[in-house]
Amino acid sequence: MTTGETEVQPLRVLFSYDASRSSMDAVETAARLIPGASATVVHLWDPPFASRELRQRLASRARTVDRLVELIEQEGQAEAERVAGQGVTLVRASGWDAEQLVERSFNGGYQLARLAEQDDFDLVILGSRGLRGARAVLDSTSDMVVHVSRVPVLVVPSPLTTSERAAAGAGPILVAFDGSLAAGSATETATRLFRGRALVRATVRSSNESEPIGGDDQKTVVIPLRGRLGSARAVAVALGEYAGELGAAAIVVGSRGRSAGRELLLGSVAKAVLHHAHRPVLVVPAPREA
């Protein structure tokens, strides 16, 4: 590094890990998207009350109910440490620095959002099952984090195809843009997080919409809306199809926004993209002043 250059600090990532297939898959994809990050691997745990075999074994060692509860808590904590350690091993093998954090779960989504904000992380990363159609719902923790986090959230669906995983390493970043304050913030955040990646801004519009898209000179690709006007799902499908044609590494959406004096329901679009896109989705919260 020459004199006068500013050292670029690695991005600080809060990575939610639970040893599921989706969280394991998310490690590899996220490392391709954001190489060289520094991760805190967090595992939120509940006491293993549902394990009948474990309860029976511990009950034989406990003389009182209080002692049984204590033993169950100890086993839960030890298992949580083991799971978090497994996550750290996978993350380090993917090229990131990593440390582990274990917390007793009381409200997973809010906990992750709180941790991300209070410790000033750049990004929260979650793995999510890639369900489609009528079953296109995120699990409750992922859904809550996306809704309440003041820190950008990257949701990595599972499974991804070979081409979708490969795109994470070299593809451009597709930013959903409508000229709103939230969309502008999403563009700036994508530039900051996906360092050195080409960004493609795109808006989905019907043929009868003629108002201007935004207030800058950057090029914005117009994607024709093929479904019902005003349908968040139709917008999400159009963005997803274009992302596939583009070979995009990820799709970036703002969580809320207003444009030309009307509500564009970016919250609904963001949720629809999360449910229907076959690649990682970065959800950027609206600026506080919005």
- Condensed to tens digits (0 to 9), the pLDDT of residues 42-81 reads 999 887 655 667 667 777 776 787 777 777 778 778 888 9
Residue pLDDT, tens place only, 15-35 = 999 999 999 999 999 999 999
Can you give the pLDDT at residue 272?
86
Can you give the pLDDT at residue 104?
87
pTM assigned to the model: 0.84
Can you give the pLDDT at residue 105?
84
Sorted by where each starts, the structural domains of the chain and their CATH numbers stand as 11-159 (3.40.50.620), 170-290 (3.40.50.620)
Mean pLDDT (whole number) for 265-284:
82
Can you give the pLDDT at residue 229?
67
How confident is residue 251, by pLDDT bands cut at 50, 70 and 90? very high
Q: What is the 3-state secondary structure (H, E, C) of the chain?
A: CCCCCCCCCCCEEEEECCCCHHHHHHHHHHHHHCCCCEEEEEEEECCCCCCHHHHHHHHCCCCCHHHHHHHHHHHHHHHHHHHHHHHHHHHHHCCCEEEEEEEECCCHHHHHHHHHHHCCCCEEEEEEECCCHHHCCCCHHHHHHHHHCCCCEEEEEECCCHHHHHHHHHCCEEEECCCCHHHHHHHHHHHHHCCCCCEEEEEEECCCCCCCCCCCCCCEEEEECCCCCCCHHHHHHHHHHHHHHHCCCEEEEECCCEECCEECCHHHHHHHHHHHCCCCEEEECCCCCC
